[in-house]
Structure 1
Amino acid sequence: MRRWPSLVVFLVLAFAAAFVASRFLPDAWYVALQKPAFNPPDWVFPPAWSMLYVLMAIAAWRVWKRDGLSAAIVLWLVQLLFNAAWMWLFFGLHRPDAALADILILLILIVALAFAFWRRDRWAGGLLMPYVAWVAFAAVLNHALWQLNPAV
């Protein structure tokens, strides 16, 4: 199961995390928040995240083909949990402070994952670079939202 069928498994796992996260979407609470000038329009997020989920699945698949179940693949699964948890913390619980803690941990995990993947397969590590950049931006955005809305 290290060829094409395993790619489908990684895509399903990545989009399963996306599906779980999508149970918690922006609501009236989010609409009422003050937003920084660099906050992207809402329509940007679904296509950006969809592309990132595809890239992270392909990256994990490339490492899986080479090493099978490894610490790097386990790290990939762990970061998926933190990825999905952010939506629950931010949009579900309305806790930008807790979401910020989550996304900072997520960013550390993704950077570690990119290095782990890079050592095994340079393409796999490179495929995670847009994810690193986007989550770094999302962390800055999360922090700005928290600072602009201290009462929440």
Structure 2
Amino acid sequence: MRLIGRHGGNRRWTGSWPCFAATGAAVAAAAATSARAVDADGDWYRSLRKPLWEPPPWAFGAVWTPLYATIAYAGGRALYTASHRRERGLLAASLAVNLTLNAGWSRLFFGLRSTRAGLLGTVLLDVSNVELIRRVARTDRTAAAALLPYAAWCAFATALNASIVRQN
């Protein structure tokens, strides 16, 4: 498989596995951290008033699983195609901040039992998504496009969280 970079150069994917392994491990850690904090069956969450358009509980796992895989793919691809060490470092930092905010939302919302703290967390995640996509697009437009469903789902989550804040 060959990658034709935006600068016109050819690069083989051989040797890319460390980038994909690193992003896969980081994404798995964020997903596990987030999953441990979520308590959608707990009394507190069940007592909250929620909008009628809230997805059923099973939908969250069905959506997040491929989104996490896409984040790992896009991150690994962008890190591999980055042409300079500084660019790779900035991409890695942006991804790390994004994954920290991603996992942090569950701690804010469920751990603190604070819909408002959760809303702040998800707004910060949305800002981080825009920054991450912008940075990734400089390196690899395909990887940036792969992140768009993640950003869209997070924007939906922000709207859902905001609705829960308004109703409670």
TM-score range (shorter-chain normalised) is over 0.9
Amino acid of the residue matched to residue 41 of structure 1? P
Question: Counterpart of 1:144?
Answer: 163
Match of 1:62 among 77, 81, 85: 77
Deviations 1:99-141 (A, max 9, x none): 1111101101101111111111011100100011000000000
Q: Is the 8 A contact 1:118 1:125 kept in 2?
A: yes
Counterpart in 1 of 2:64?
49
Moved beyond 3 Å, runs of 4+: none
Query: Which runs of structure 2 are paired with 1:17-96 in the superposition (5 Å)?
Result: 17-25=30-38, 26=40, 27-67=42-82, 69-96=88-115
Q: Which of 140, 149, 152 is 1:133 aligned to?
A: 152
In the other structure, the counterpart of 1:106 is: 125
Residues 19, 77 of structure 2: 8 Å contact kept: no
SS of the aligned residue for 2:55 comes to coil
Contact 2:19 2:76 in 1 (8 A): yes
Gap regions ≥5 residues in structure 1: none
Number of residue pairs matched by the alignment: 149
In 1: Cα distance, 2:15 partner to 2:24 partner: 14
Contact 1:115 1:125 in 2 (8 A): yes
SS in 1 for 2:36: coil
Q: 2 CA distance for matches of 1:98 and 1:89?
A: 6
Distance in 2 separating the partners of 1:99 and 1:62: 30
| C-alpha deviation, 1:9, in angstroms | 2.2
Does the CA contact (< 8 Å) of 1:21 and 1:85 recur in 2? Answer: yes
Structural RMSD (CA) = 1.4
TM-score relative to the length of structure 1: 0.93
Looking at structure 2, the residues matched to 97 and 127 of structure 1 have their Cα atoms a distance apart, in angstroms, of 30
